[in-house]
Amino acid sequence: MYNNDMPSREELPSSGKLIRSTIIAAVVAAVLLVTVVMPAEYALDPTGLGRMLGLTEMGEIKAQLDEEEAAELARQAEPAESAAVAGSVEPAAPVAEPAEPVAETAVAPEPQAELAAEEPAPAAKPKWRDEIRVVLTPGEGTEYKLTMEEGAVARYSWTTEGGPLNYDTHGDGSGQSISYEKGRGVAADEGEITAAFTGNHGWFFRNRNAGDVTLVLRTNGDYGELKKAM
């Protein structure tokens, strides 16, 4: 069997060539990291080339999905933490009964108290001022906003029928914008919005299910009107 001859020392690359090759490889890797990897994975685009190539938008979508998933995991963990706290509370010690029964004197109810009990209670005020019901087809989105003054507070409650939705609670106006909360795959939510500035504050919903989903949105509080933005 014939073996190839070992290369001579003159044929081997010099130390200078190896160093230059290593430096060139490091520079290429750094350029790819800054122009491709960082925009596509982390939405960081210091050179602006990533947005020109459409990579920064990809990274922003990934970052938003990660935020929605983290918010959903945090929301799912809250009931478990509440249950753990409730289970750690020790039951109250039973109250010892008196050794001898104490005689009680029955007191006849006064006629005025009986008449007051028979009077009907006043009708309760409606809990919600506005209610919206809309059907979203697969992939369809919609947006509803409340016109609010800075510092105003509005209560809301929304539920779904047919599947969960992705949502983004945000506001815009007076040259400003804000994101209050985001969620993915959520079937219901309720709470309050305190307007950070004068403008429009509300929700964007998106149906990512294979079938239609019905959204029911109810609002009340200090706002001008509930309007459909899209």
Residue 177 belongs to a domain: yes
Q: Are residues 137 and 64 in the same domain?
A: no
For position 69, what pLDDT does the model report? 74
Q: Which of 36, 58, 79 corresponds to the end of one domain?
A: 79
CA 209 to chain centre: 18
For position 73, what pLDDT does the model report? 74
Q: Are residues 56 and 139 in the same domain?
A: no
Structure token pair of residue 39: 């925009």
Q: Are residues 72 and 139 in the same domain?
A: no
Q: Are residues 137 and 224 in the same domain?
A: yes
Q: Are residues 69 and 134 in the same domain?
A: no
Q: Are residues 222 and 142 in the same domain?
A: yes
For position 40, what pLDDT does the model report? 72
Domain count, the chain: 2
Residue 174 sits in a domain whose CATH number is 2.60.120.680
Which secondary structure element, helix H or strand E, spans residue 73, and what is its range? helix 55-87
Question: Structural domain of residue 31, as residue ranges?
Answer: 14-79
Instruction: Split the chain (230 residues) into runs of 10 and give each run's mean pLDDT.
Output: 61 78 88 78 78 75 76 69 52 54 54 57 78 96 97 97 97 93 96 97 97 98 94
Q: CA-CA-CA-CA torsion for 89, 92, 93, 96, nearest 10 degrees? A: 180
Residue 59 belongs to a domain: yes
Residue 220 belongs to a domain: yes
- Judge contact between 181 and 218, C-beta under 8 A: no
The radius of gyration of the chain from alpha carbons, rounded to an integer in Å, stands at: 33
Residue 152 belongs to a domain: yes
Q: Are residues 57 and 136 in the same domain?
A: no
Q: CA-CA-CA-CA torsion for 199, 202, 207, 211, nearest 10 degrees? A: -120
Residue 111 belongs to a domain: no
